[in-house]
Chains A and B, each alone.
Chain A
Amino acid sequence: MTIFLAIILGLLFGFVLQKSGAADPHVITDMLRLKDFHLMKTISLAIGTSSLALYILLAMGIIDVSHLGVKSSYVGVIAGGAILGLGWAIAGFCPGTGVVALGTGRKDALFFVLGGLVGAFVFTLMYASLKSTFLFDDLGGKATLVRTGSEKFIALLPSLPAVLIAGVLAILFIFFAIQLPEKRTS
């Protein structure tokens, strides 16, 4: 059953990434050089609507809280994000969009994915010597802004109602998506 869901959801995600333009390095690059905000509006709307839906469905008990997966905060999240950003800018792909672009037959995406396999392998080999360095110093653990209802995660705003705070944040993302112009005007 989970393999069936993997196929359906993976197909859907790949299809939507391609149709949204996210798998086109031209679109990503023009977003990063602040020229065309189509993709920025898309991402912001997607985060806002999914977050709003998630916290409403959690509150209603329709989504099981055990399905959540919050990642840890540590120094490497910031350092790794910065390194990823450099590669993102020069290639115009991130891991998911590179994989989808490979499916569309883009040759440059093939080189991106091969490079990605090398980069992931280098990290796999280096992990033993990195894991006790400052890069894995804790910055708050598995923390969320709002209360998720799971004991595995630390809520930074535990006394405020989760739906309200998550809802306000989600509406800010949706508002940003609507307000941002499609293209830079200058």
Chain B
Amino acid sequence: MKNFIYQNQWDWRTSGFALGLVFILAVALVKPIGVSTQFVILDGIVWNFFADDVTVKSSDSNTGYSSSNAYLNKSGGKYAKSISNPANYSFVFVLAMVAGGFIASKLQVTEENNTTPPNVWKERFDNPTSKRYLTTFLGGVLVLFGARLAGGCTSGHMMSGIMQTSLSGYLFALSAFATAIPLAIFMYNKGE
């Protein structure tokens, strides 16, 4: 048991069963797991500091909240409501994920998985660190723009979606791998 908790990385069987268990627990107890929406919610919370009218209480909307922004106002002001009430299930879930990653990394024997930038990057590029930060920033812009256009990410579409046999999950997964695999091969083709 102790080894199990302190191990740097579980084998694929343990990892797969554990991940599958978390996905089934989430849908059994609450709802399917999703992450990328919460980037919008955090944006809205920050935006609210700078402008007063981003989300407002409204008796006309289904959720009781509305927004001058069309995206935050969609589905009866669903996002506007979450922004006005950050202590909601989905937002707290993602904050707890950060804590889960922190705990797991503290319970690791070595920190070898925790190098910045990753070895695959160091082996391929000469001037690693600053370029790595710029690249992950740009990667983040693309990933979350894409996830919001798609209405979900690897967690919501690929894992939760395919688990439920959603057509959208399959479409998303095929499309994401169709661009990610060729680009990763092209980008790192000189690396080890």
Contact = CB atoms under 8 A, between A and B. Distances in A.
Given A25-B118, A80-B149, A89-B184, A115 B141 contact: yes
Interface string A83-108: 11111111111111111111111111
A122 B141 contact: yes
A57 B87 CA distance: 30
A15 B103 contact: yes
B56 interface: no
B28 A62 contact: yes
B1 interface: no
B25 interface: yes
Interface string B154-192: 111111111111111101111111111101110111000
Interface residues of A, number: 125
Interface SS of chain A:
helix
Nearest to A147: B165
A145 to B, nearest CB: 4
Contacts, number: 505
B105 A104 contact: yes
B168 to A, nearest CB: 4
A62 B76 CA distance: 31
Contact of B164 (A68, A95, A116): A68
Contacts of A115: 136-141, 143-144
A82 interface: yes
Contact of A112 (B11, B139, B178): B139
Interface SS of chain B:
helix
A23 B178 CA distance: 21
A38 B17 CA distance: 13
Contacts of B142: 83-84, 86-87, 90, 119
A54 to B, nearest CB: 6
A81 B183 contact: no
Contact of A123 (B9, B21, B87, B145): B145
B40 A84 contact: no
A19 to B, nearest CB: 5
A114 B137 contact: yes
Interface string B52-79: 0000000000000000011110100000
A125 B177 CA distance: 27
Contacts of B126: none
A72 B156 CA distance: 12
Given A77-B157, A95-B153, A123 B144 contact: yes
B101 A87 contact: no
Contacts of B150: 76-81, 84
A164 interface: no
A32 interface: yes
Contact of A20 (B15, B139, B180, B185): B15
